[in-house]
Chains A and B, each alone.
Chain A
Amino acid sequence: MSHKINSQDPLALGRRLQKARKSLGFTQQWVADHLKIARTTLTAIEKGERVIRPDELVQLAQLYNESINRLLRHPDASGQSEPFVVQFRKTLSETDGQEIEHAIHEFQKLCEDYVYLEFLTNSPLSKKYPPVYEIGNFDPVKRAEDVATAERNRLGLDDGTIADFAKILENEVGIRILGMPLPSKIAGLFAYSENLGACIAINSKHPVDRQLMSRIHEYAHFLTHRMKVNIFVLKKSTTERFAEAFARFFLMPASGLQRRFHEIKMTKNGVITPADLLGLADLYFVSFQTLVFRLEELKLLPKGTWDNLSEQHFQVRKAQDILGISQKGGTNEINLPYRYRAMAVQAWNSGKLSEGQLAKILRTDRVHAREIIDNFIDRDTINDQGEEFSVVFEDLSQPI
């Protein structure tokens, strides 16, 4: 029997190995030294000119902290594009360090797994991208308001609150939205590639209201700079003025917020209390501070209201507790969208994923993976072939 892997297209495998190496920032020389082979041999492997040996592949997989299954599975979801981390490196400063590179690497792997699940379940994500909006020489804040209004209209959202923006972005636009722990100063990441499409990662460690703002912020970036990667860092920057303005106009459109504010005032004989504002913030899924600033901007509250409240040491968290408004904090876990989990379970149930593959794709251990299966599969129902029914996979883009 041959001692080389001849069942795999060497060029395709070589390309994957090269991408894995570049994603980790390893040089060919360093990897070759580790494998105790010549650098020219590694070059030949990566170009598909030399078929890799099984033990070499096992060593490389260990070095790249990658499973053999992931390196060999078909199809290669990443396609021909440069890895995200290579694209991001052009925007990272020297001080950003390994932590953010590792996060970007994981972001890409999640997106590739997402595309792989779509392949397994024959459920491609339907891309309904709007044309790119130009900012040009317009005042970025005014332009942000125009674009936010246009997008709300295009998505059929009127001027009300948004219940589940991530779902809207996935189903109505075709953007992949993932939640993952990122370095604290990073609120979100945006990346685009031909195979993976537009992808957004939001910092799951941040409070839920912050995550929503970050999602919209990255959406603003998608609308205006589609092909360019973006790291959303929590600091003031003039280049972010458009995105920040877009986020608040999109989330709290003037007409809807004004209407609600006046309705509250009318029922309270013209008096607005902090309790009313806390309730309004909760309704719009924003922080109390964000809402107050927006109301100041709309001149519904006097300018300086937030500063006054701060000087009086108004304790937002305590007030929320008194009113029974739950404070939704972040977690250190990866938040996979419903669609992703549903497809994974569907693929497992139809025998296209093993339990081990399922657990890896769900980024969990096997017992937790079995719990996730329980959320989707009704064990009490069985069809004529003796198979369990699964919950019908909810994909609004698929024909009935």
Chain B
Amino acid sequence: MSERWVIFDACSLINFYASGFFESILSSFKTQSCIVEQVKKESLFVRKPSDLQSMYDYDPIILERYTQSGQLKLVKLETEIEKDLFIKLAKRLDDGEAATIALAVTREMDVVTDDKKAIQTLNEEAPNIETLTTLDIMKDWCENTLMRKEDIKLALENICICANYEPRKNHHLFQWWTSQLI
């Protein structure tokens, strides 16, 4: 990973929060991680298994603890150039995604997203900006923090169940993902 700031899109933020190890993941970054204001305003939830079989309760994602401690910085569009780019991208993407990419491009941050359309848009707009996925971050976290095998498995299972996320079979780390869940 580069030394640039890292900005999370909503889709990856949900996954990391759901893992149950969000604080550890944030601490593992060498640089600052952030989210854009529009993402914070979205109503984001994660699942938790309820007492009823095959049913779930849903918990809202609460980020105050992480933003107040400074582990996760809240950023907003400030300059005319950033707002111009945001508007341009908002024709194609949801507001949160557009703002995330606009700031990533103008402030040269690495973007963490799993969304196909967001990745495609970013590649067209700024091919020099690195796109990272949930699995890229999780693999780095596992290796850099020397997590126990049981904790890695738990984190990935939580992402599956609580965020209802599974990588596509053609993801470059799909084999790594499946090997950790055995």
Contact = CB atoms under 8 A, between A and B. Distances in A.
Contacts of A356: 10-11, 42, 93-97, 115
Interface in B59-113: 80-81, 83-84, 86-88, 90-98
B29 interface: no
B43 interface: yes
How many B residues touch the partner, as a band?
A: 35 or more
A127 B22 CA distance: 51
Interface stretch (A65-73, A184-192, A216-224, A240-248): A65-73
A359 B95 CA distance: 12
Interface residues of A, number: 37
Contacts of A72: 87, 90-91
B170 A387 contact: yes
A10 to B, nearest CB: 13
Contact of A354 (B81, B97, B168): B97
Interface stretch (A31-39, A145-153, A249-257, A366-374): A366-374
Contact of A370 (B81, B88, B164): B164
Interface string B41-66: 01111110000000000100000000
Contact of B84 (A2, A359, A374): A2
Interface in A280-318: none
Interface string B21-47: 000000000000000000000111111
B117 A388 contact: no
Contacts of A355: 10-11, 94, 114-115, 118
A69 B94 contact: yes
B45 A370 contact: no
Given A367-B45, A379-B166, A73 B87 contact: no
A365 B43 CA distance: 6
A156 interface: no
B120 A365 contact: no
Given A68-B87, A354-B93, A388-B168, A367 B58 contact: yes
Given A3-B80, A54-B80, A68-B95, A386 B169 contact: yes
Interface of B: 10-11, 14, 42-47, 58, 80-81, 83-84, 86-88, 90-98, 114-118, 120, 163-166, 168-170
